[in-house]
Structure 1
């Protein structure tokens, strides 16, 4: 049985983007193969093992595809992938595309319970996983799921390390004859990849994307940041298995014939070393990662080789980080507003530091070759006039097909004519620039009053003693919730809760929005997808137990207001 991956967009609209050339109208492997033929010795991947050119990569892809076909993997089958950022993850991506199968990547570090949820709902027939990576033994853990997941027939174990009993060794599949493999030719508007997003749901959301939506819509996003159309060299600080990382194999390689620079896991020192050694044209990460890198930079060190763009998404970008990064990296800092659900807008290359407004960094001007953006009434979905604040909705070439195994999410987050409901509030100004001002749901409710954590984070980021900050709501028996600021200090002296409040007052923020708890941490913990781990921070703030790294502060409680 294959999971239903239907398209929520009108068929004629989807086809129109292929007809007018907005989307390439080829499957991902065919696009990659054309790049390999055009420049066979161009470097495709730079990772811990060194350089891999397009021709060598294609041979490995065909070996794996032949081996997977011998296992019975067929067109339309969903196959999970849990691998670190390494050439093997790219090989798996392209081999599944060549089979016409649907890849379901999720980052290493995600636990077996979440993996079981994803694989069950997607009806995955196989999963490709690392034997060991750091402290994880994903292949063995996932093989244990075969007893409870009737659709899961195979676990492919990728070394180093010996394949656990009952799994299929990657090395054996890679000995298959590449000449015996004939690629499938799937419909470019059919599903190619399932993106995973934690979102605000109890279980992770899975969103199906077509070949055209990835190479076309998302490919046009990266094309807008390639001023001379030279194939890009992209350093991915985020996992390729994340939604942000979907701009890797499908976009950087298959669409644009570029090079992927990969780290098997992010550290600020490794990222800076890769930037100096490989001189990427584009660096893709989240603001927290960049703040960690800025902390490591020595003022007396040789300047970094300047990329074309530092593309920051996944979390709100504050003005202080943007300005510091533009100076340190010597390039345009691009604020990317986007999500796995199907929205994308960015500030482009015209400004070294992204423009700001009264609410912070703006989102930029929507590109209809990526996705059209409208502001709508949250209840009726009717379009609102320029300047009016409403829900941001999105529809265009990068729009996904549907949510996977979750018709309730289709109903909740897609309008009847296919527009994606982001849950974000914003407005379009007279020049067509998108401004994001908050979220319909992402709020802390203190005594019946709503507080936007993102708004407070934005203002606290400019405090002279704050290197990084994440605000979370913590349960309170009196007020329901109270706001806590989790701060990475700049320098040795941490700010006090009082000094944070004084700073917010000086910036005009009303007292009821000030944080009432302070947690000082050495670094913001990150999820497997590379985003700030708000749940982990919230757990540290609970009364049970103490944290040797973090020091909670318990100030007098403010009055409700």
Structure 2
């Protein structure tokens, strides 16, 4: 059975963006193939294995597509992909697009609990995963999960080393003869990729995107940062499997005929080396990564070739970081407000630091070729006049189709006419500039990565020494926020932070979601409404007054 993916936007509206040229109206593989034919030997990928041109990449794509087709992968099937940044991840993306299948990428390092949830709800028929990456053995772990996933037929093991018993080596599929392969031609408004966002839900959200929404809407986002429209050379510090990373294969390669510069994991030293050696035009990352790079540059005094833009999203970009980054990299620093749910706005190439005023952070002018943005009343959802603060809603060419297997999320976050409710608070000024002033959602953003306190609380509640627990974010100069667990012990023995983290690991929660602070309390304080007083707990952890109801500055939304 294939999971149902329906489009919550009116079909006529989708078609109007094709008619006016906003969207290319081609599937992702056809777009890539046209770029390959136009420039056979242009560099497509630079990674740890070296340089790969468009023609060599296309041959690998056709080989893998042939192998996957022979395994029974059909149009509309969902296939999970858990691979580090590198050519294999790109080959998988394009091969699935050529088959008309739907890619479900999720980053390496995500725990088995979350992987099982994603694959089960998406009814994935196969998954491509690493044999080993930085201590993680995802292929073996996913093969162990297979009996609990009735739709899953194949686990494909990628990378060096011996494929676990019962899995299919990716290397064998890449040796298939592509001579007879004929790509599918899926409808450009059909599903191409599922983006994963933890958001504020206890389980990760999955958001279905069409070919046009990726290559068209998200493609227009990158086009707005290409002043000469020359093919870009994009260094991705973030995983290609993230929402921000969805600007890789479909956008940088297929839409714009550019080059991907990839590292299989981020370190500030490797990132600086990549900038120095490969001269990217665009660097895409989160502020925490750039702060780490700036620290290294202080000690070395190196001068770097100036990119066109440093594009930062995922968490708050403070003025000091932006100013120092603009000086060190010699280019505009673009402050990106965006998320997997379908919102995008950025400050553009005209300034080097984000502007701010007493009411919030300036996010830039919405681009209707990407996503139109309006402000709605938080209770009635009716549109508000310019200058009024309310919930930010978005709709445009990049708007996703729907949430996957989650009609409750469709009802909660989508309006009847297709607008996306972001859960963020903001206003549009008289000049049409978007300002962010707060957020409705309870989410901790650590170094640009989302952590749902509800998910961590649910797993910690199963610890034998925990009677009650609340998780909150506490400010941190490096990571933006870190997670703290506020625990009421269930017995005379008190759990330690190490024991709580070991418990989370055992239950399949990856390390990035583990709390880094522990507060032991006799009872949880309650608000007048009878709910746990998170602000009061945060105050005890930081020793500072509770935050005001309307903070002066807030992190930008999850990912690009």
- How has the CA–CA distance of structure 1 residues 344 and 559 changed in structure 2, closer, same or farther, with 3 Å as cutoff? closer
1:541 to 518, 530, 533: 518
Distance in 2 between residues matched to 1:268 and 1:204, nearest whole Å: 28
Aligned residue for 1:292?
292
Alignment of 1:139-538 (within 5 A): 139-298=139-298, 301-359=301-359, 361-442=361-442, 484-488=474-478, 535-536=513-514, 538=515
Cα shift readout 1:65-100 (whole Å, capped 9, x = no counterpart): 000000000000000000000100000000000000
Offset at residue 300 of structure 1 (A)? 5.8
Hey, what does 1:96 align to over in structure 2? 96
Q: Alpha carbons of 1:533 and 1:425: their partners in 2 closer, same or farther (altered >3 Å)?
A: farther
Q: Is the alpha carbon distance of 1:11 and 1:270 closer, same or farther for their aligned partners in structure 2, counting shifts above 3 Å?
A: same
Task: Provide the rounded CA distance (Å) in 2 between the counterparts of 1:407 and 1:173.
Answer: 36
Give the Cα–Cα distance (whole angstroms) in 2 for the partners of residues 375 and 300 of structure 1.
46
SS in 2 for 1:310: strand
Q: CA deviation at 1:318?
A: 1.1
TM-superposed CA distance for 1:488, in Å, is 4.3
For 2:429 and 2:451, the matched residues in 1 are separated by 28
Structure 1 runs (4+) greater than 6 angstroms displaced? 470-475, 477-483, 552-556, 558-561
**SS in structure 2 at match of 1:184:** coil
Deviation of 1:540 after TM superposition, in Å, equals: 2.6
- Per the TM alignment, residue 290 of structure 1 is displaced from its structure 2 partner at its CA by 0.5
CA contact (8 A) 1:377 1:390 kept: yes
Render the CA deviation track for 1:270-304: whole Å, top value 9, x for unaligned.
00000000000000000010001111113662311
Taking the aligned partners of 1:212 and 1:298, their CA distance within structure 2 comes to 43
Contact 1:64/1:95, CA 8 A, preserved across alignment: yes
Q: CA deviation at 1:348?
A: 0.4
Q: Quick one: structure 1 residues 488 and 433, their matched pair in 2 at CA, closer, same or farther if it must change by over 3 Å?
A: closer
- CA displacement at 1:161 relative to structure 2: 0.7
* Separation of aligned partners in 1, 2:512 and 2:2: 35
Aligned residue for 1:79? 79
Q: Quick one: distance in 1 between partners of 2:541 and 2:208?
A: 46
Deviations 1:124-174 (A, max 9, x none): 000000000010000010011111111000000002111111101111111
Distance 1:426 1:66 in 2: 48
| TM-score (norm: length of structure 2) | 0.83
Preserved CA contact (<8 Å) 2:129 2:138: yes
Distance between the aligned counterparts of 2:16 and 2:451, measured in 1? 43
Change (3 A) 1:430 1:479: farther
Q: CA deviation at 1:255?
A: 0.1
Distance of 2:136 and 2:472 partners within structure 1: 35
Tell me the number of residue pairs that the alignment of Structure 1 and Structure 2 aligns.
492
Q: Which residue of 1 aligns with 2:47?
A: 47
How far the C-alpha of 1:392 sits from its partner, in A, is: 0.1
Partner of 1:495: none
Counterpart residue number, 2:23: 23
Q: Indicate how the Cα distance of structure 1 residues 16 and 559 shifts in structure 2: closer, same or farther if over 3 A, else same.
A: closer
Partners of 1:487 and 1:107 in 2: CA distance? 25
On the 8 A contact 2:131/2:137 being kept in 1, the answer is yes
Offset at residue 20 of structure 1 (A): 1.1
RMSD between superposed Cα atoms in Å:
3.0
The alpha-carbon deviation at position 485 of structure 1 amounts to 3.2
Instruction: Give the Cα separation in 1 of the matches to 2:512 and 2:359.
Output: 22
SS in 2 for 1:362: strand
What secondary structure sits across from 1:51 in the alignment?
strand
Cα–Cα, structure 1 residues 472 and 254, in superposed 2: closer, same or farther, change >3 Å?
Answer: closer
Alpha-carbon deviation of 1:354? 2.9
Displacement, 1:481?
Answer: 8.4
SS state at 2:261 partner: strand
Contact 1:318–1:361, Cα closer than 8 Å, also in 2: no
Q: State how far apart, in whole Å, the 1-side matches of 2:208 and 2:451 are.
A: 31
Whole-angstrom CA distance in 2 between matches of 1:305 and 1:264: 22
Partner of 2:196: helix, strand, or coil? strand
Say if 1:484 and 1:298 are closer, same or farther in 2 by CA, change over 3 A: closer
Mapped to 2, the partners of 1:101 and 1:283 lie a distance apart of: 29
Q: Residues 463-506 of structure 1: CA distance to partner in whole angstroms, max 9, x if unpaired?
A: xxxx99x999999x9998887333449xxxxxxxxxxxxxxxxx
Q: Please list the CA deviations of residues 316-342 of structure 1 after superposition, one character each: whole Å capped at 9, or x if unmatched.
A: 211111111111110000000000000
Match of 1:335, SS state, is: strand
Write the distance in 1 (CA, Å) between the matches of 2:11 and 2:260: 33
Deviation at 1:397, TM superposition (A): 0.2
Task: Please give the secondary structure, in 1, of the residue aligned with 2:363.
Answer: coil
CA shift digits 1:216-267 (9 cap, x unpaired): 0000000000000000000000000000000000000000000000000001
| Corresponding residue of 2:501 | none
Instruction: Please give the alpha-carbon distance, in whole angstroms, between the structure 2 residues aligned to 1:176 and 1:558.
Output: 62
CA 1:388–1:59: 2 relative to 1, 3 Å = same
Structure 2: distance between partners of 1:554 and 1:338? 32
Question: Normalised by the size of structure 1, how large is the TM-score?
Answer: 0.83
1:379, distance to aligned residue in structure 2 (A): 2.0
How far, CA to CA, are the matches of 1:197 and 1:558 in structure 2?
31
Alpha-carbon spacing, 1:309–1:559, altered in 2? closer, same or farther (3 Å)? closer
Q: Which has the higher contact order (CA 8 A, sep 6+)?
A: 2
Note closer, same or farther for the CA distance 1:203–1:480 as it changes in structure 2 (3 Å cut).
closer
SS in 2 for 1:115: helix
3-state secondary structure, aligned to 1:95: helix
Q: Distance in 1 between matches of 2:99 and 2:20?
A: 27
Compared with structure 1, are the counterparts of its residues 371 and 557 closer, same or farther at alpha carbon in structure 2 (3 Å cutoff)? closer
